[in-house]
């Protein structure tokens, strides 16, 4: 029996207080994001890093769902794409001011995911994954067929405003500025998820993941926490989609396709979902490996596949988990390999 399940059985799900180290690490992470553009210098590398950070945020949402609910989603591109289409359509038709449109573009997919989660979290294992895949592809097909709304396969350019929160939009879309924005938001998201998993809610969802039947037996409702976890992971994916739309100024059905969900899952596997920052590390590795392999051969997906196999076999906890494990061994042995 896991510690989370034991605490749940005993009625103890109080969360430990955050340490000062947690806040220091958050501050360091944000400072690194502000300093990296000056160190990197290359616009191409910064652009690739920005794409990796946005992809990393999507992967963090997928990894959070795996970590807390113990299930795999093949359809998280739905919430990524719905957010991108929401902001695109709202700005295209000038329905709301841009700031309000941003909030609505995050609220719509999160609410939709929560309502859907109330139904699909009741289905276990592979069936859950197939349902998420079906939902994601349904959104993709709608975007393809609804020519009058989405412009079909061609997509449409998003008419961005002149300013965003008082800043010129041209400044926001620069690789340096967008990288700092995306990096900072990713750091805040990971920190927010860290606070969530250490809260009573996080302890409860971990215990439900370990033994849902026992949680029900002692009086806890399990559907609502699992649906809320699904909605939180969808919110993270929606934030990534929103950043993608703002950075590229364009949206098409590709942002809803299952291959994007598959790529996010691969990132989470490479980095490791047991640690909240693992999928983000996996995203950076994925994007740079994809860019490097793409320059060498057109069969770059095969190299990604080999990487996933090697990581799965040799590092079940992912690269992030292996790094932490290695660090622990070095501390125990006094720095000797």
pLDDT tens digits, the chain, 337 residues: what are they?
Answer: 555 555 555 555 555 667 778 889 899 999 999 999 888 878 888 988 999 999 999 999 999 999 999 999 999 999 999 999 999 999 998 888 888 999 999 999 999 999 999 999 999 889 999 999 999 999 999 999 999 999 999 999 999 888 888 788 888 888 889 999 999 999 999 999 999 999 999 999 999 999 888 888 888 889 999 999 999 999 999 999 999 999 999 999 999 999 999 999 999 999 998 999 999 999 999 988 888 877 777 777 888 888 888 888 888 888 998 888 888 887 777 656 5
pTM of the model: 0.91
Quick one: which H or E segment has residue 188?
A: helix 175-198
Q: Determine if residue 221 is left, alpha or beta; phi over 0 gives left, psi from -120 to 50 gives alpha, anything else beta.
A: beta
Q: What is the C-alpha separation between 290 and 286, in angstroms, rounded? A: 6
Residue 256 DSSP label? G
> 7 exposed, middle or buried (CB, 10 Å; 0-12, 13-18, 19+)?
middle
Q: How do residues 206-247 score in pLDDT, each as one tens digit?
A: 999 998 888 888 888 899 999 999 999 999 999 999 999 999
Q: How do residues 115-139 score in pLDDT, each as one tens digit?
A: 999 999 999 889 999 999 999 999 9
Quick one: which H or E segment has residue 134?
A: helix 125-145
């Amino acid at each position: 029996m896991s510690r989370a399940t034991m605490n749940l059985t005993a009625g103890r799900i109080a969360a430990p207080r955050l340490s000062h180290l947690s806040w220091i690490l958050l501050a360091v992470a944000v400072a690194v994001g502000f300093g990296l553009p000056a160190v990197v210098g290359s616009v191409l590398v910064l652009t690739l890093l920005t794409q990796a950070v946005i992809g990393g945020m999507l992967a963090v949402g997928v990894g959070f769902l795996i970590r807390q609910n113990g299930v795999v989603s093949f359809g998280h591109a739905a919430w990524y794409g719905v957010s991108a289409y929401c902001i695109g359509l709202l700005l295209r038709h000038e329905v709301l001011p841009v700031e309000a449109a941003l909030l609505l573009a995050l609220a719509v997919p999160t609410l939709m995911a929560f309502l859907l989660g109330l139904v699909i979290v009741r289905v276990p294992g592979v069936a859950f994954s197939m349902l998420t895949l079906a939902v994601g592809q349904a959104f993709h097909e709608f975007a393809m067929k609804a020519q009058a709304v989405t412009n079909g396969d061609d997509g449409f350019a998003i008419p961005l405003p002149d300013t965003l929160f008082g800043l010129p939009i041209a400044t926001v879309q620069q690789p340096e500025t967008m990288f700092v924005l995306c990096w900072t938001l990713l750091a805040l998201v990971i920190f927010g998820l860290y606070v969530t998993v250490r809260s009573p809610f996080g302890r409860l969802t971990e215990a439900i993941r370990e033994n849902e039947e026992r949680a029900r037996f002692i009086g806890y409702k399990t559907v609502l926490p699992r649906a809320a976890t699904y909605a939180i992971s969808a919110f993270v994916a929606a934030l990534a989609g929103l950043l993608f739309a703002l950075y590229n100024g364009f949206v098409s059905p590709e942002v809803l396709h299952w291959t994007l969900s598959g790529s996010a899952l691969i990132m989470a596997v490479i980095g490791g979902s047991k640690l909240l920052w693992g999928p983000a590390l996996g995203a950076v590795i994925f994007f740079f490996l994809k860019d490097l392999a793409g320059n060498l051969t057109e069969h770059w997906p095969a190299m990604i596949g080999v990487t996933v196999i090697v990581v799965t076999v040799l590092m079940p906890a992912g690269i992030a988990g292996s790094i932490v494990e290695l660090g622990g061994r070095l501390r125990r042995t006094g720095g000797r390999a």
